[in-house]
Structure 1
């Protein structure tokens, strides 16, 4: 994990985040809120009731995770069909199911970055949320399977290593954080193989999945096992956000003081927008020019990564996903500062517009010349995402809450 510096929308105040917001499913909600500011410290803060927003947010999170779990189960079914009858059609169906499953997961990234169920760290037990197992990247594909120039590489081609959930997880990111063994990108690599072409995705042959051939049975077992592990992690997240048990995180989140809950929500949105999307996922690749610095490099799905992460931010701000359509942040902000709400909507729309101009496939942007218009378009997305985060911080000041955003590695 990277060590990151923190800044806040009220930087004159000291902030301690030493205590996890989800250390375990039985810990009580903290008495001291790390995201709420006092009126004396922040100046005048209007009175408001954010409970409808917080309650609707919890319902939206649950609905998004439930859909993500359903789509992961569809992926599991498609993979089972591939392994039962390997063909180009069944391989294509499994790839399409992965893209669909990935689309729903991406929208859950707007629930990260405040040590909720997805990414908590328990300092006592060293237990962590499943984000690192679900979504870690970049991925060193040679750690999992054969690659160009190394036909016998990876765990799959090492029969001395048993391929169980426990053994695969025990190998995950041990000596190098790129030695990823689990999650969506491990499945992606297994379905597509290496991407050796700047204009198309990977082209793993369907023959890699025919039973009894070479180490194919180990590849088949690996693919089956890591898919089951994704579903197990998503089941954990669905349970954590089901507000039907006093020990579940959702119950505690809804019971938090308004400013504490809002600070977490806004921190998540600002961090995803500014740090994760603008800096880590887009600027890093633009600066390096390395096609391997695109997030979904095997499937060439990276443009969708950007689109649906941004969709997740919109979902939270407007309080809607699937059948959930209640009070969003827009409702609260509009009631207190209509001009600021309009400013946020304009920022969201500007970001959407900038993203719509990005080239496909995404890795062609990274491989382009320094003066290529595609790079200028990517820079406009970075600027729009950073400006969007700045407006979120303004909303934090209006509501009297901390908005905590990482600033670097």
Structure 2
């Protein structure tokens, strides 16, 4: 699958055809279909992570420039379904408590591997330059930790080492850093440029410790698959799992979780933490996929995930479409005019966030360039996306009111808009 082509196709208007509204649609059917979408998204996240792992293994067996590019493409493709899964975080505690091991950011990459001499890190973080790849042991405060063995379980234990959230040893962004290396371009064009020779065993190895670096990359990939396998099982039908727990609750509570998740990702997380923070600080350190310059796609697929839950639709990794009873259907049954207006706002916001993808792919203006202090046009584009997400959140709250779901209160992450 061509990732760039896939991303561009998703932005085209009228991609999803919302099924005709069934007057028999019930709240419980909508919640059950929500669980179906969650299972499909996590299944796709798992399968694309397995493809990434296969590409990593092939590359490590015979490192080459083309091989590294193949792995990078596989990483980007793995991000497509996973970013659409984040709408399930908020409201579903089992997801929110789990996701940090897979998607925590920003991270102090010096914990993992070599960094530039002028590397800026979180002040007071003893692990910020620990460099696990180059070390058999690391010292955090008074504690000395043996890292002779680089295995998945050991890496998981190093997350938030010394109490610092910036110490991230696992997940998509740890793998991203191991593939791209630091992006040293600031707000200028360009992503990280790690050479493939960082993985060549023997005299051609660059920057030292190539064998341990390869062990780290493989271990991080294996842990990613293990974690995604566990979550996929939590949403599988017919099991004693979280899905069964969710569906045993009242349909009103299920809808509240759906709407809270949509609103919290839309407002506090995507508009706030992922866009507003980076824009106001003009900070590439607060960019989501900062090593690969893939942030525009991460933002877009977060928005797509919100859209999926509202419309009851999802385009799977194999291109097939999943559709069923939706919140949109419930709103339309109660108030056709409101349903039309809310859907229009969702479409407008998805299109607006899609302009970040267009800026990157057509104009070579990636997110780290758009947030530069001297880029007034880029700043305005990001701010317009933020404000559209704010309006979308208002529409989510309106939808909740129409179908009688109270006490929504989407998370603002302490941001004011």
TM-score by length of 1: 0.83
Q: 1:281 aligns with which of 270, 274, 281?
A: 274
Q: Does 1:73 align with 2:37?
A: no
Match of 2:161 in 1: 174
State yes or no: 1:309 paired with 2:302.
Answer: yes
Aligned to 2:349: 351
Decide which of 64, 70, 87 is 1:93's aligned counterpart.
70
Q: Which moved more, 1:232-241 or 1:166-175?
A: 166-175
**Does the alignment pair 1:251 with 2:227?**
no
CA–CA separation in structure 2 for the residues paired with 1:403 and 1:97:
37
SS in structure 2 opposite 1:356? helix
Decide which moves more: 233-242 or 47-56.
Answer: 47-56
Contact 2:267–2:412 under 8 Å retained in 1: no
- The aligned residue for residue 144 of structure 2 is none
CA-based RMSD of the aligned residues comes to 1.8
Q: Which runs of 5 or more residues in structure 1 are unaligned?
A: 1-46, 120-128
The count of residues paired between Structure 1 and Structure 2 equals 352
Query: 1:211 aligned to 2:215?
Result: no
Inter-partner Cα distance in structure 2 for 1:133 and 1:191: 18
Q: Deviations over 1:32-81 (max 9, x none)?
A: xxxxxxxxxxxxxxx98311111111111101110110000000000001
Structure 2 partner of 1:40: none
User: Structure 1 pair 311/48, CA: closer, same or farther in 2 (3 Å)?
Assistant: closer
2:226 corresponds to which residue? 232
Moved more, 255-264 or 160-169: 160-169
Give a deviation string over 1:237-278, Cα, whole Å, max 9, x none: 111001212x21111212221110000000000000011000
In 2 relative to 1, CA 364–346 (structure 1 residues): closer, same or farther, beyond 3 Å? Answer: same
Runs (4+) off by over 3 Å: 150-153
1:327 is aligned to 325
**In structure 1, how many angstroms separate the alpha carbons of the residues matched to 2:412 and 2:93?**
20
Distance 1:145 1:159 in 2: 13
Tell me the residue number matched to 1:261: 254
Q: Which has the higher contact order (CA 8 A, sep 6+)?
A: 1
2:394 and 2:408 mapped to 1: Cα distance? 10
- Per the alignment, residue 10 of structure 1 pairs with none
- Rounded Cα–Cα distance in structure 2 between residues aligned with 1:49 and 1:153: 54
Select between 152-161 and 249-258 the one with higher mean Cα deviation: 152-161
- Map 1:347-386 onto structure 2 (within 5 A): 347-358=345-356, 359-360=359-360, 361-369=366-374, 372-386=376-390
3-state SS in 1 of match to 2:95: coil
Distance of 1:268 and 1:233 partners within structure 2: 21
Which of residues 86, 89, 108 is equivalent to 1:140? 108
Query: What TM-score does the superposition give when structure 2 sets the normalisation length?
Result: 0.81
Contact 2:273-2:413 at 8 Å conserved across structures = no
State the distance in 1 between where 2:35 and 2:355 align: 33
Where structure 2 has 5 or more consecutive residues not aligned to the other structure, the ranges are 1-23, 120-128, 138-146, 361-365
Which shifted more, 330-339 or 275-284? 330-339
- The SS at the match of 1:406 is coil
Closer, same or farther in 2 for the Cα pair 1:71/1:150, shift >3 Å?
A: same
- Equivalents in 2 of 1:331, 1:382: separation in Å? 27
- The 8 Å contact of residues 192 and 292 in structure 2, kept in 1 or not, is answered as yes
Q: How far does residue 408 in structure 1 lie from its aligned partner after superposition? A: 3.3
Q: Distance in 2 between matches of 1:221 and 1:156?
A: 9
Alpha-carbon distance in structure 2 between the residues aligned to 1:171 and 1:283:
29
Cα displacement string for residues 351-395 of structure 1 (whole angstroms, at most 9, x for unaligned residues):
12322333321100122416x111111111111101101111112
CA deviation vs aligned residue, 1:82-137 (integer Å, no higher than 9, x gap): 10110011100000000000111000011111134312xxxxxxxxx320100000
The answer for the alignment partner of 1:337 in structure 2 is 335
Q: Which has the higher helix share?
A: 2
Question: 1:153 deviation in Å?
Answer: 5.2
